[in-house]
Amino acid sequence: MQRWRIRTCVSAALATAGLLLSGCANPGVGSAEDDATAPVTLKFWHGWSAPGEVKAINDSIARFEKLHPNIHVTSTGNVTDATINQALRAGGDGAPDVITSFTTNNVGQYCDSGMWADLDPFLRKTGVDKTKVFPKSLLQYTSFDGKQCALPLLADAFGMYYNKDAFEKAGISRPPRTMSEFVRDAKKLTVRSGKDSYKRVGFMPNFRLYQNSPDRLFGQWGPTYFDSKGNSVLAKQQSTYDFFRVTGQLADAQGGYGALERFRTSFGDEMSAQNAFLTGKLAMHLDGEWRGLMLNEAKAGFDWGVAPLPVPDDQADTYGRGYLTGTVTGIAHSSTHQNAAWELVRFLTTDTRQVVSFANAIHNVPSTYAALKSPDLDADPTFKAFIDIAQNKYSQSMPQSTNGGMYITSLQDFAYSAEAGRAHDLRKGLRTLDEQIDADTLQSKS
């Protein structure tokens, strides 16, 4: 399974499996007293599985071992968050020393449980100023409640892919920049093949499509999820209502939720040659930077481009922003080789040449200021569009929570009902959603 396919569902999977860690974990006691210059073998667990990705990881390890000949790294790939958490709970010789996760939503859980070691002491003693190395938004999704238990290991930025041929045929000169333009262009780009079917839709707003988790498009409004006391405030901000209004307008402009949902169910698998954007069924599509590489490999039969997603009309000056997430890495609290493990984490996350090489190899966004500006970074203009989104000061990542992002799952469930017209009183529904999120947070702390 490709990494980007599991990012939105892991929190729910962990909850179902009884693996939520906050408030009840007893992590094995590790040690930061080891000599990082002594011979040692580190166990590194990660989730990459595709041949090209695994090769990129192995090449990274080879570069590290050349710089640190005393440290040998054994790498285990295709490991899920649930498997890592089980191993960390058990501790012992079988547990990993260095771990990665594709699920930034779970970082609050990792930090709060103590399963992932606090990296701030290691940063300080090796003279790494994290605020000068990593963009602020990436530091936000790798820390929780003052604890930096993870660091960014490449990032993902979300933007809009668009079919240039379809735009030209519809007489549209450029991608939409505001939500009103978005609705207008989506309607122009929609082509029906009959009364109840489509040849192509301008933009599929339905939240069950591929990467269309509601929090990603909602990020264009720059929402606030929690107040200073940690209480959910979705019902108290106008942007939430504007978001659902615009997604409703997008659906209505193209025939309504029901017709679009029937069309969506005809789409092929996201990562297959039957992807709806690749097959021309979508003229505009929300997706991450990896899609460009896949479109090139598949030799898409049309000219395509990338642009930032539109922003609200009253926030036109924020155009260029996008939703950010990414891979994170850290040190297992149970590791007895934490100083040596830190050398590996520091190399993977802060060495500019390494970060650029890895980013180019797997076509993800670099996660340090220096790497983002490196002349060695892939100069492909469509990839650069995501680099610009990642560096935009208005781009936003999700705030961390102690229960592994359960609030995002709750928002998803509510959004499914809202788009289908089952939330008849939106304000009342959002107040109930806030109450549910607060109750879940309180329960996780008990």
pLDDT digits (tens, 9 = 90+) for 85-130: 999 988 888 899 999 999 888 899 899 889 999 999 999 999 999 9
Q: What percent of the chain has pLDDT over 90?
A: 81
The pLDDT, as a whole number, for residue 27 is: 52
Q: How confident is the model at residue 5 (pLDDT cuts 50, 70, 90)?
A: very low
Q: Are residues 69 and 215 in the same domain?
A: no
Answer yes or no: is pLDDT of 332 > 90: yes
Whether 201 is covered by a domain: the verdict is yes
Write down the pLDDT at residue 93: 85
CB distance 263 to 133 below 8 Å: no
Compute how many other C-beta atoms are within 10 angstroms of the C-beta atom of residue 206: 21
Report yes or no on 427 lying in a domain.
no
On the question of pLDDT at 2 being above 50, the answer is: no
Q: Are residues 214 and 232 in the same domain?
A: yes
Residue % of the chain over a pLDDT of 70: 93
Which pLDDT score, from 0 to 100, does residue 360 have?
Answer: 93
Query: Do 72 and 40 meet the contact criterion of CB atoms below 8 Å apart?
Result: yes
- Name the token pair of 107: 């970082």
72, 351, 365 from 59: Cα distances, Å: 13, 14, 18
Question: Is there a single domain that holds both residue 64 and residue 35?
Answer: yes
Residues 292, 344, single domain; the answer is: no
Within this chain, do residues 373 and 387 fall inside the same structural domain, yes or no?
yes
Q: What is the CATH number of the domain that holds 348?
A: 3.40.190.10
Among 362, 391, 420, give the residue marking a domain's end. Answer: 391
Mean pLDDT of the chain: 91
User: 77 by DSSP, 3-state: which?
Assistant: coil
pLDDT, residue 13, reads 41
Size (the chain), residues = 446
Three-class SS of residue 147? strand
Cβ count near 197 (within 10 Å): 12
Name the residue among 54, 99, 113 with its Cα closest to residue 403: 113
Of 20-34, 194-208, 391-405, which gets the smallest average pLDDT?
20-34
Closest CA to 81 of 133, 3, 194: 3
Question: Which of 265, 297, 318 corresponds to the end of one domain?
Answer: 318
What is the per-residue pLDDT for 92? 85
Return the SS3 of 68: coil
Last residue of a domain, one of 357, 391, 425: 391
pLDDT digits (tens, 9 = 90+) for 275-317: 999 999 999 999 999 999 899 999 999 999 999 999 999 999 9
Give the position of tokens 């519809």.
Answer: 170
| Residue pair 242/312 in contact by the 8 Å Cβ criterion | yes
What is the per-residue pLDDT for 9?
40
Same domain, yes or no: 82 and 166:
no
Helix (H) or strand (E) holding 412: helix 406-419
CA gap 367, 154 in Å, rounded: 5
Decide if 247 is inside a domain. Answer: yes
The answer to whether residue 205 scores a pLDDT higher than 70 is yes
Q: Quote the tokens at residue 227.
A: 């107040």
Give dist(CA 130, CA 128) in Å, integer.
6
pLDDT exceeds cutoff 50 at 33: yes
Q: What is the pLDDT of residues 48-86, one digit of tens each?
A: 998 999 999 999 999 999 999 999 999 999 999 999 999
Give CA–CA dist 73/234, Å, rounded.
45
Contact assessment for residue 147 and residue 359, using Cβ atoms and an 8 Å cutoff:
no
Q: What is the pLDDT of residue 444?
A: 78
pLDDT reported for residue 339: 97
Are 73 and 187 found together in one domain? no
User: Do 201 and 245 reside in the same domain of the chain?
Assistant: yes
**Same domain assignment for residues 51 and 180:** no
Query: What's the confidence (pLDDT) of residue 195?
Result: 75
Whether 337 has a pLDDT exceeding 70, the answer reads yes
Q: What's the whole-number mean pLDDT along residues 210-223?
A: 96
Q: 194: pLDDT confidence band, cut at 50, 70 and 90?
A: confident
Structure tokens given for 305: 């481009």
Q: Looking at the domain assignment, is residue 396 inside a domain? A: no
Beta bridge partners of 73: 42
Looking at the structure, tell me whether residues 307 and 167 fall in a common domain. Answer: yes
Domain of residue 100, residue span = 3-156+325-391
CA dist 399 and 412 (Å) reads: 16
Q: Number of folded domains in the chain?
A: 2
Question: Average pLDDT for residues 205-216, to the nearest whole number?
Answer: 97
Residue 367 lies inside a defined structural domain of this protein: yes
Are residue 152 and residue 167 in the same domain, yes or no? no
* pLDDT bucket at 28, cuts 50 / 70 / 90: low
CB 252 within 8 A of CB 154: no
Q: Kindly indicate the confidence band of residue 15, based on its pLDDT and cuts at 50, 70 and 90.
A: very low
**What torsion do the CA atoms of 195, 196, 201, 204 make, to the nearest 10 degrees?**
150
| 407: in domain | no
pLDDT of the residue at 378: 86
Q: Which of 284-288, 357-361, 404-408 has the lowest mean pLDDT?
A: 404-408
Residue 223 shares a structural domain with residue 357: no
Task: Say if 402 falls within a structural domain.
Answer: no
Q: What is the pLDDT, as a whole number, of residue 32?
A: 81
Whether 175 is covered by a domain: the verdict is: yes
pLDDT value for 387: 93
